[in-house]
Every structure is written in structure tokens, then in C-alpha cells.
Amino acid sequence: MMEKIKAVIEGASIHDVFDIFPRKPPGLKFNETDVVIVRARMPDGKQVSRSFYFCLKPDGTFEETPISNDASRYRRHKLSSFIKYYGIAGDLKKYNIRDKVREWKGRAIEVVPYEKKGFIYVP
């Protein structure tokens, strides 16, 4: 079993995929236009981050389950799982991620140490 340690979110932000990459990375679908980047710090001072790809709707929400049944669905499920597991929101249908993402700062999360860094745990 993976040992998890506590970490604290130092920042979370939403970006257009094309603000991060000059060309959309292979594997991302046309309906994955946005990315949430979460940065956290472990007790030893090391920083870890995780990116979640999704499509931001005009009202600031996102569709938890896209029409397609592929890797896009898996990536959105990871974002949904992250939000639910860490108690950020219960009802994702009405959760305005665009307005609320800055409130993630300071939340306790879990990190799985791996080699010299680690990764943010998402069930």
C-alpha cells in the first residue's frame, strides 16, 4: 500500500490549454480545453503539482461525465474525485470551479512520496 503524507495546497489556478502548450498535447481531446493546476508543499518543503484537464462551461461549471467514453472521461473523473475526496464540493453540477478554485489554497491534501518528489493523491 502507498504511504501518504499530508501536504498543503499553495495555489490552484485554471488556464486555457493553449496558454500552457503551444500545441495541444497528443491524447487530449477537442473537448479538453482547460487545465486546473494544483501546487502543494510537503512538510519537508518539496513542492508537488498535478494538472487536471477538462472543459470549462460558460457558467464556470464543468461536466463531470463527458459524452465520450475514453481517456477524456477518465481525466474528468480524476478532477471530480479530487474535488469530492478532499471535501471541496459535494454537488459538482452547480460548483463554479472558475470562481472557487482560489479557495483551495490552504487545504490539506495527501501526497504519495515517489523518488525525489511525489504526486498528489487522487483516489
Q: Which residue has the cell 463531470?
A: 64
Say whether pTM exceeds 0.85: yes
Summarised one tens digit per residue, pLDDT across range 57-107 is: 999 998 877 666 677 788 888 999 999 999 999 888 899 999 999 999 999
Task: Please report which residue ranges of the chain form alpha helices under DSSP H.
Answer: 17-20, 71-85, 97-100
- State the pLDDT at residue 100: 96
Long-range (24+ apart) CB contacts under 8 A made by 119-123 are 119/48, 119/50, 120/7, 120/38, 120/40, 120/48, 120/49, 120/50, 120/82, 121/2, 121/4, 122/50, 122/78, 122/81, 122/82, 122/85, 123/81, 123/85
Separation of alpha carbons 1 and 50, rounded Å: 21
Separation of alpha carbons 26 and 43, rounded Å: 34
User: CB under 8 Å to 99, separation ≥6 — which residues?
Assistant: 60
